[in-house]
Amino acid sequence: MLRVVQLQLCEQKTAFSVRLYRGRNGKPSKLHWLGVSIEKRGDQRMGIPVLILGESGSGKSASMRNFSPDHLGIINVSGKPLPFRGNFKMAMTDDYQKVTQVLLGSKVKSIVIDDCQYLMVNEFMRNAKVNGYQKFTDIALNFWTLVQTVIYSLPSDVIVYFLGHVERDGDGREKLKTVGKMTDEKVTIEGYFTIVLKTLVQDQHYYFTTQTNGMDTVKSPMGMFEQQQIDNDLKMVDDTIRAYYNLTESQGEIS
Q: Largest Cα–Cα distance of the chain, in whole Å? A: 59
pLDDT of the residue at 45: 54
Predicted TM-score (pTM) of this structure: 0.82
Mean pLDDT by 10 residues, the chain (255 residues): 41 44 44 45 72 95 96 94 91 96 95 95 92 88 94 95 92 88 79 96 96 96 97 97 85 60
- For residue 137, the surrounding DSSP H or E stretch is helix 134-153
- Position 248 scores a pLDDT of 73
Integer angstrom CA distances of residue 167 from 55, 179, 215, 219:
8, 10, 12, 17
pLDDT for res 180? 76
What pLDDT score was predicted for residue 26?
47
Instruction: With beta carbons less than 8 A apart as the criterion, state whether 62 and 83 touch.
Output: yes
- The pLDDT of residue 10: 44
pLDDT at 17: 46
Residue 61 has a CB neighbour count (10 Å cut-off) of: 24
Q: Is the CB of residue 99 less than 8 Å from the CB of residue 75?
A: yes
What pLDDT, on a 0 to 100 scale, did the predictor assign at position 20?
A: 44
Tell me the domains of the chain and their CATH numbers: 1-40 (no CATH), 44-245 (3.40.50.300)
> What is the per-residue pLDDT for 34?
42
**Dist. CA 159–CA 45, nearest whole Å:** 12
* CA 20 vs CA 73, 121, 137: distances in Å: 32, 23, 12
Question: How many angstroms separate the CA atoms of 170 and 39, rounded?
Answer: 38
195 vs 216: CA distance, rounded Å: 13
88: left (phi > 0), else alpha (psi -120 to 50), else beta?
Answer: beta
* Long-range pairs for 197-204: beta carbons < 8 A, 24 or more residues apart: 197/50, 197/51, 197/52, 197/53, 197/237, 198/52, 198/53, 198/54, 198/166, 198/174, 199/52, 199/53, 199/54, 199/55, 199/58, 199/59, 199/60, 199/63, 199/232, 200/58, 200/229, 201/58, 201/59, 202/229
The crossing angle, in degrees rounded to 10, of helices 96-105 and 134-153 is 0
